[in-house]
Amino acid sequence: MRRFFSQFGRILRIRLARNRRTFKSRHYAFIEYESAAVAQIVADSMNNYMIMERTLVCEVIPDEKLHVDTFKQTAKLLEKGSTLGKRLKYIQRSRHNRPRTHSR
């Protein structure tokens, strides 16, 4: 996601919402750009854009409406050796390596 949206400008922070138990995506994210003008361009150009069979809904949220804890977990996930990051990698690895069944 970072690679895709960084084509518009420098991303300061990104938060992808995930299920707390399974760490699967909840299909929404918050992205903070260095410039408010770039954020507005992204919101205008990427709104209703189809990506991986999903329609993007992009909006600019003013700073006064943004909750202070929106990007709270971002730093924890990026820390080298963080427990949250290790757990996420473990879940993804075990899900990828599990035996395949006929129903899939």
Dihedral over alpha carbons 35, 41, 43, 44 (to 10 degrees): 160
pLDDT in tens, 66-101: 878 777 765 555 556 666 667 777 777 888 888 887
Distance, in Å, from the CA atom of 31 to the CA atom of 57, rounded to the nearest integer, reads: 13
pTM of the entire predicted model: 0.65
Distance, in Å, from the CA atom of 5 to the CA atom of 23, rounded to the nearest integer, reads: 22
pLDDT in tens, 8-56: 999 888 888 888 777 788 888 889 899 899 999 999 999 999 988 889 8
First CA to last CA across the chain, in angstroms? 26
User: What backbone phi and psi angles, to 5 degrees, belong to 57?
Assistant: -120, 110
